[in-house]
Structure 1
Amino acid sequence: MDHFFTLNFWEMTLRTLFSFFVLLILARLLGKKQLGQLTFFHYITGISIGSIASQIAAVAETPFLDGLISLIWWAFLTFLITIISLKSKKARVLFDDKPTIVIQNGLILESSLKKNRLHMDKLTMMLREKAIFSVQDIQFAILETDGKLSVLQKTSVQVATKQDVHANIAPPTYLPTEVISDGQLIYENLVELELTEDWLMKKLKKQKVQNVKDVYFAQVQTDGSLYISLKVNK
């Protein structure tokens, strides 16, 4: 009995080890995608591959070689479909479907909702997640192949940009960077910004600060100005 238990333990350990590394290699081969970018097809195949790997690792009755062949073959088919989809637009539409317009010029396209089995409660929730509460403000709303909603609002309700109001659109001179923390000068950040300690002291003196130790926090702003927060006792 003890011999059987030991044999079974090492068998399952090795099966798990092999399954883990095969799954890791296959995941690398299939490419990088965030969970939110997965189409329904890739989501289902990902679950299936993981299920096969767990079956190999956890179920002793599953023949190891058979399970391994199934795992590799499933991953290969997924990889093959991905390559075909990259080469052919028709195949891409077949496997991943295509984006669907669900709102046009403030009007809800009921046929599109039915086609995608999307009810109004879900649609309005997706709009609220984008801080849009009125359907009439929408020029186009498109349901993407990954299930997300892309929205173009009507021009009259779009947020004005700096170009619209003719504001300054020059790129920032500096990235906002901490240069003093709890009374300590951060030299490496000054060097990275190509600034000197003399420059910093001049900025401090302009704000009537004589000593770095009196400063709790100081940060160079995008326009080269210096934000200062003094220690409480100062």
Structure 2
Amino acid sequence: MNYVEILMRTILAVGLLLLIPRILGKQTLSNMTSNDFVTSITLGSLAANLAFNISLKSSYLVLSLVVITATSFVLSLIALKSRKMRSWISGSPTVLIENGKILEANMRKIHYTLDSLDQALREKEIFNIEEVDYAVLEDNGQLSVLKKEAYQLVTKQDMGLLLHAQAFPVELIMDGKLVEKNLKLHGLTREWLEKELKHKAKGKTLSDVFYAVRGTQQQLVFDFYEDGIQQPLDQE
């Protein structure tokens, strides 16, 4: 009976953990604030006990999960309403470099070392600290960097090039299946897609397509099941 109970409790724990991020929001999964971090750790611990610790009643653990979720949800609402409370609940950004100067006092206040700063800059592909004008440690632990103007990349606008309107990519075929919803939403039809496919790849039909997307410039891109590559890389 213990095996059956553990099985049922584990399924319940996984189900609750899948449900909770839908209630709290996607920030619980990534770019976590202090509130999200504490909530995630607590929920993970409670879910593990719910799955395997049969000495504790499952109803108690489920209640704890509900209370933690509700508390985190309420704190998130408070953070949305009050800017003053938001800094305490979610944390606040800390400026580490200003006008190219490292702010040692700010780094000491948050116990952030030069080694950590150098590592975070390298992850931004910055190996020379002299390139940095401003660096801010966000409340989710990520470093945001503004380079000095001399080290910033040139854009099309800087070069005076003609700018074209862009659209969000629309996936039309996924895993070989037609995405009818996307076609209908953008006023497209299966017949139109078949016609475009004939222009792009003669002799191919929709059944040959693994993936199809209309890109940012309205261009159509097709990927077929048969790629025509004789010796694919990483093939054992």
Same fold at TM > 0.5: yes
Which residue of the partner structure matches residue 93 of structure 1? 87
Q: Does 1:131 align with 2:135?
A: no
Superposed displacement of residue 195, structure 1: 5.8
| Alignment-mate amino acid for residue 40 of structure 2 | G
Superposed displacement of residue 172, structure 1: 7.0
* Equivalence map 1:118-157=2 (5 Å): 118-157=112-151
Structure 1 contact 107–136 (Cα < 8 Å) conserved: no
The residue matched to 1:164 in structure 2 has which SS? Answer: helix
Q: Distance in 1 between matches of 2:29 and 2:112?
A: 21
Q: Distance in 1 between matches of 2:11 and 2:143?
A: 40
Which residue of the partner structure matches residue 56 of structure 1? 50
Superposed displacement of residue 191, structure 1: 4.3
Which residue of the partner structure matches residue 228 of structure 1? none
| Alignment-mate amino acid for residue 106 of structure 1 | G
The residue matched to 2:141 in structure 1 has which SS? Answer: coil
Superposed displacement of residue 162, structure 1: 1.4
Superposed displacement of residue 194, structure 1: 7.8
Q: Distance in 2 between matches of 1:92 and 1:223?
A: 41
Which residue of the partner structure matches residue 218 of structure 1? none
Q: Distance in 1 between matches of 2:118 and 2:57?
A: 49
The residue matched to 1:118 in structure 2 has which SS? Answer: coil
Q: Distance in 2 between matches of 1:112 and 1:121?
A: 15
Structure 1 contact 38–146 (Cα < 8 Å) conserved: yes
Q: Does 1:169 align with 2:163?
A: yes
Distance 1:66 1:189, change over 3 A: closer
CA RMSD, aligned part only?
A: 3.3
Superposed displacement of residue 85, structure 1: 0.8
Which residue of the partner structure matches residue 34 of structure 2? 40
| Alignment-mate amino acid for residue 168 of structure 1 | L
Which residue of the partner structure matches residue 76 of structure 1? 70
Q: Does 1:14 align with 2:40?
A: no
The residue matched to 1:9 in structure 2 has which SS? Answer: helix
Q: Does 1:102 align with 2:96?
A: yes
Q: Distance in 2 between matches of 1:21 and 1:61?
A: 21
Q: Distance in 2 between matches of 1:25 and 1:149?
A: 30
Which residue of the partner structure matches residue 174 of structure 2? none
Q: Distance in 2 between matches of 1:164 and 1:122?
A: 34
Deviation string 1:88-137 (CA, Å, 9 cap, x unpaired) is 11111011221111001111000111112111111011111111122222
Structure 1, 120-129 or 34-43: larger mean CA deviation: 34-43
Superposed displacement of residue 41, structure 1: 2.6
Q: Distance in 1 between matches of 2:218 and 2:57?
A: 67
The residue matched to 1:37 in structure 2 has which SS? Answer: coil
Q: Distance in 1 between matches of 2:19 and 2:157?
A: 48
| Alignment-mate amino acid for residue 159 of structure 1 | L
Structure 2 contact 28–37 (Cα < 8 Å) conserved: no
Q: How many residue pairs are counted as aligned between the two chains?
A: 189
| Alignment-mate amino acid for residue 80 of structure 1 | V
Larger radius of gyration: 1
